[in-house]
């Protein structure tokens, strides 16, 4: 009976600990944005597919615009101190535009956080005065 408890207790604690991870909602914009159909999907559909937007606004024509963003980091990138040497987080952006409650455009973009780091290296362009 003691051997059974030595096996059961760690198993129960592991399952209990992992159950906390299960409750966190995970959003995968890169995969879920493919479900949005221009001209067919409604605001309710987009909310089901992508969840609540991170930001809402209007464009110049007065149409409603929803913004979604997501930052994905690998386990190595989350490592304290050394994480930055393993790369940069992947940034995903989705912009959905509605007219009369129906999607009229859906724009998806994905990049790394350091994609524009080359722009800071301009010393070779400086001119002497």
pLDDT in single tens digits along all 129 residues of the chain = 577 667 777 777 777 666 655 555 667 788 889 999 999 999 999 999 999 999 999 999 999 999 998 877 666 656 676 666 666 667 889 999 999 999 999 999 888 766 666 666 666 666 555
Q: Which residues contact 24 (CB under 8 A, 6 or more apart)?
A: none
- For residue 125, being part of any structural domain is answered with no
User: Contact 96/106 with Cβ under 8 angstroms?
Assistant: yes
Tell me the CATH number at 49.
Answer: 3.30.1450.10
Domain total in the chain: 1
- What was the pLDDT predicted at 7? 75
- For residue 15, being part of any structural domain is answered with no
Q: Are strands 102-112 and 55-58 parallel, antiparallel or unpaired?
A: unpaired
**CA 110, CA 93: separation in Å to the nearest integer?**
6
pTM here is: 0.63
- For residue 68, being part of any structural domain is answered with yes
- What was the pLDDT predicted at 2? 74
Could you tell me the residue range of the domain that residue 110 belongs to? 29-114
- For residue 104, being part of any structural domain is answered with yes
- For residue 127, being part of any structural domain is answered with no
């Amino acid at each position: 009976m003691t051997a059974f408890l030595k096996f059961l207790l760690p198993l129960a604690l592991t399952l209990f600990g992992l159950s906390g991870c299960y409750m966190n909602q995970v959003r995968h914009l890169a995969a879920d944005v493919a479900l949005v159909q221009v001209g067919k999907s409604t605001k309710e559909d987009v909310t089901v597919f992508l969840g609540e937007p991170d930001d809402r606004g209007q464009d110049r024509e007065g149409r409603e615009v929803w913004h979604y963003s997501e930052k994905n980091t690998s386990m190595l990138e989350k490592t304290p101190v050394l994480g930055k040497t393993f790369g940069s987080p992947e940034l995903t952006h989705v912009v959905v535009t509605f007219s009369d409650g129906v999607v009229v455009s859906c724009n998806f973009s994905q990049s790394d956080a350091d994609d524009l780091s080359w722009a800071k290296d301009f010393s070779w362009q400086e001119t002497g005065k």
